[in-house]
């Protein structure tokens, strides 16, 4: 299958450019009988939506999703779910410059080399605008996982540039525009972002995502390990440059006696594995962390070339997020939901009648 589909049994296929007529998505393989309405998706879409604070782009998109198929009398039917979001804020603009230049660190240069042509309006397909559809599709997966299996998927911003969250208070995550779980750090982040905006620069961020309540057994060794599919899903999000599971890069300096999560009848004693052993979920929380690079759309001039290879100086005007990481939390949650959903169905397909007498360990 081509590159715009994700998932083998719960398959999400998307289309749409930043400044095209609409974004859309087909979810194929959703189990029937799930209560579903636009409201289920809108909640997450609104969390991702730009323009909700001064720290994100002031572009305004209603991001109203419509269900076109696959739901009947309020429930999924098992047939493909067609979704659409019409683009409403396509400000007319002079694209003559951007069409001939390559913005540094953008996909302009690579799309041109791959396809020979590109839709240069607002980044076209390479714009993060496409992630709206990931969030909509993820909301369907999330609802199923929560209702049928009790799985809860939550994310937060753990670092904004140099500022690290030091406390994890889930109740705080939605009390500030950063998805920051540490209330004490919010004023510092506010000040940092205000300065950055004045400066015209941008900054990176780190997002953590956690899934609680995942049963043991999900993941398909050896290539479609749960962690490998998570890495695939998370790295496919715009601007992501790194993915960790559990202890991640800290494992490099850990000794075996420190890293190994010992087990007792009462539960696992630690979770360096991040909930995945041998590529299969262990019943512990699935813990992933991602690095997002700073936005490359800056009004500070940068050196580049034009389509003929001549040197140019590029200044990006327009409305851009100075920290794309800020709005990335719902996107990362969505991708984790899609991966877990897909693996739940795949596992049920092969192993739906397996009975195991070994007790499932609680998480300590």
Q: State the binding site.
A: 48, 54, 125-127, 238-239, 278, 293-297, 319
For residue 171, the minimal CB distance to its own copies (Å) is: 25
Residue number, 26 or 180, with CB nearest to its own copies: 26
Q: Which residues are annotated as a binding site for NADP(+)?
A: 48, 54
Task: For residue 309, count other CB atoms closer than 10 A to its CB.
Answer: 7
Distances (CA, A) of 225 to 34, 242, 263: 27, 18, 22
For residue 353, the minimal CB distance to its own copies (Å) is: 7
- Taking Cα atoms as reference points, which of 44, 2, 7 lies closest to residue 341? 7
For residue 237, the minimal CB distance to its own copies (Å) is: 9
Residue number, 37 or 351, with CB nearest to its own copies: 351
Residue number, 186 or 335, with CB nearest to its own copies: 335
User: Which phi-psi region, left, alpha or beta, contains residue 277 (left: φ > 0; alpha: ψ -120 to 50)?
Assistant: beta
For residue 60, the minimal CB distance to its own copies (Å) is: 21
Per-residue DSSP letter, 243: E
How far is Cα 61 from Cα 122, in angstroms, rounded to an integer?
Answer: 14
How far is Cα 325 from Cα 242, in angstroms, rounded to an integer?
Answer: 13
DSSP symbols for 343-358: HHHHHHHHHTT----S
Residue number, 171 or 192, with CB nearest to its own copies: 192
How far is Cα 350 from Cα 239, in angstroms, rounded to an integer?
Answer: 35
For residue 176, the minimal CB distance to its own copies (Å) is: 19
Residue number, 171 or 288, with CB nearest to its own copies: 288
Residue number, 142 or 347, with CB nearest to its own copies: 347
How far is Cα 180 from Cα 166, in angstroms, rounded to an integer?
Answer: 10
How far is Cα 316 from Cα 299, in angstroms, rounded to an integer?
Answer: 5
| Bridge partners for 42 per DSSP | none
How far is Cα 250 from Cα 316, in angstroms, rounded to an integer?
Answer: 37
| Bridge partners for 72 per DSSP | 75
For residue 177, the minimal CB distance to its own copies (Å) is: 18
């Amino acid at each position: 299958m081509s590159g715009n589909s994700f998932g083998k049994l719960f398959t999400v296929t998307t289309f749409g450019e930043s400044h095209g007529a609409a974004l859309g998505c087909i979810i194929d393989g959703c189990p029937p009988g799930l209560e579903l309405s636009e409201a289920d998706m809108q909640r997450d879409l609104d969390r991702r939506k730009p323009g909700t604070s001064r720290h994100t782009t002031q572009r305004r998109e209603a991001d109203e999703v419509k269900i076109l198929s696959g739901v009947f009398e309020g429930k999924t039917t098992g047939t493909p779910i067609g979704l659409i979001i019409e683009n409403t804020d396509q400000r007319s603009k002079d694209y003559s410059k951007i069409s001939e230049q390559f913005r540094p660190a953008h996909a302009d240069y690579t799309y041109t080399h791959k396809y020979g042509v590109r839709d240069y309006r607002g980044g076209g397909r390479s714009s993060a605008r496409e992630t709206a559809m990931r969030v909509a599709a993820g909301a369907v997966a999330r609802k199923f996982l929560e209702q049928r299996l009790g799985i809860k998927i939550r994310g937060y911003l753990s670092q904004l540039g140099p500022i690290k969250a030091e406390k994890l208070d889930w109740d705080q995550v939605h009390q500030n525009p950063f998805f920051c779980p540490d209330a004490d750090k919010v004023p510092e982040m506010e000040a940092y972002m205000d300065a950055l905006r004045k400066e015209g620069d941008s900054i990176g961020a780190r997002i953590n995502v956690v899934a609680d309540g995942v049963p043991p057994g999900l993941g398909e060794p050896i290539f479609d390990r749960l962690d490998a599919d998570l890495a695939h899903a998370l790295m496919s999000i715009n601007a992501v440059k790194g993915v960790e599971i559990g202890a991640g890069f800290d494992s490099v300096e850990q000794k075996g006696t420190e890293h190994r999560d010992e087990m007792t009848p009462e539960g696992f004693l630690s979770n360096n594995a991040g909930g995945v052993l041998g590529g299969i979920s262990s019943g512990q929380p699935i813990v992933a962390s991602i690095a997002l690079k700073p936005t490359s759309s800056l009004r500070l001039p940068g050196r580049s070339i034009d389509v003929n290879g001549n040197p140019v100086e590029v200044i990006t005007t327009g409305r851009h997020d100075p920290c794309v990481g800020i709005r990335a939390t719902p996107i990362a949650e969505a991708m984790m939901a899609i991966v877990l959903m897909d693996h739940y169905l795949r596992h049920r397909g092969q192993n739906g009648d397996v009975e195991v007498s070994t007790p499932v360990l609680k998480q300590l």
